Structure 1
């Protein structure tokens, strides 16, 4: 009975036509606010990086708008495709003149280039914005085997993992391979540790995300840009 009383307390007591009109106004205001935020991001990209960057950020924002409410599988596919198709893989040393730099999505799209961490970060925050919980997503540091199944050569790499349930085998979103595959179909990747907004996962233990200073710095940069999903 309590839940019924609570529900009725928040029910619209105005005429039905007023309730419908109010709902449409609220929806329209939400759309206007989202469009205003998108316009600010597009303008920022143009001012900092030029017209081509503005076009790419606009394409990204249109994808986010189109995928709101979409099934997870569709959102994963579209986000993965956008960044793999539109961003060139270039090392940090060439793009940022630093050995290791975590770019915000705006910075990466501004340059039109990034390394594996930048792809993974942009995909993670795009999917979070689309409503996929942090618990289902992890940024995963791996050792990637280079040169075929028999190769002993590995390099550090980062991918995004999607876990449909906590016990599920993750799906891997990677900039090296366009197809999203279950982890079992990626024997070339050996996990080292993973993290998301909720913590750092290594060897079965979970520790505070505070140990990753780059993660905190990244989010501060994103807020300064006006993008904080």
Structure 2
């Protein structure tokens, strides 16, 4: 869990969603956010220079693992990716890892540090699954309120998970750093969705249609730009 986007960003996104600014996907395409792929050797070199040999080895392991998962059934790919990052990444707050209150790490940064908060787990899983060919429309990065302290508890905390929709109207599966088992959202009553997003835009609650384009999320734009400098080629 984390203080994910901060109150000001949260309010601005929700306000934009409620206004339902119908700018469409043209804004996303113009911002250059369409999926392309990774230059893995470049990523390995960047990891080596920034974080050392262990980080370069982590990128190499990630590359080899992705190569071995390409021909698997999609739900098996979900399981492998979820387990890979949950087992190899230590949960830590942004202030501990990055000395910042809120920082969205790239997959390379998460691999390099071997640590991250809930958002960093989600971004690493999301981009890995996209690299494996999972359709954009099936994946959403979802902000939730997570109930802590048991079923009767009224205490909640901000959290992010990755949602996978087998079909547009299906109950999504939830990939979570808190538990390694992938469960349908209906089996996670501890999570209440607030809004979600992917390259197609921002979705309020469980809405099937995006209400505002993703390029309105400034931290997302910043994340993509840093990924480009590391070898991401949209």
When normalised by structure 1's length, the TM-score is 0.82
Point out which structure has higher relative CO (alpha carbons under 8 A, 6+ apart): 2
CA RMSD in angstroms, aligned pairs only:
1.5
Match of 1:226 among 198, 206, 231: 231
Counterparts of 2:85 and 2:231 in 1: how far apart (Å)?
20
Aligned residues of 2:145 and 2:159 also touching (Cα < 8 A): yes
Deviations 1:126-169 (A, max 9, x none): 00010011100000000001111111111000000000000000
Deviation of 1:69 after TM superposition, in Å, equals: 2.9
Q: Counterpart in 2 of 1:126?
A: 128
Deviations 1:47-93 (A, max 9, x none): 11011111111111111111113211111011001100000000001
1:73-222 matched pairs, under 5 angstroms: 73-203=75-205, 204=207, 206-222=211-227
Counterparts of 2:72 and 2:124 in 1: how far apart (Å)?
18
Counterparts of 2:152 and 2:69 in 1: how far apart (Å)?
40
Deviation of 1:208 after TM superposition, in Å, equals: 1.1
Structure 2 gap ranges (5+): 1-36
Counterparts of 2:226 and 2:175 in 1: how far apart (Å)?
24
Counterparts of 1:191 and 1:150 in 2: how far apart (Å)?
18
* Secondary structure in 1 matching 2:39: helix
- Name the one with the larger helix percent: 1
When normalised by structure 2's length, the TM-score is 0.80
Counterparts of 1:158 and 1:227 in 2: how far apart (Å)?
23
Structure 1 gap ranges (5+): 1-33
Runs of 4+ in structure 1 deviating by more than 6 angstroms, as ranges, are: none
* Secondary structure in 1 matching 2:211: strand
Counterparts of 1:189 and 1:37 in 2: how far apart (Å)?
36
Counterparts of 2:97 and 2:59 in 1: how far apart (Å)?
18
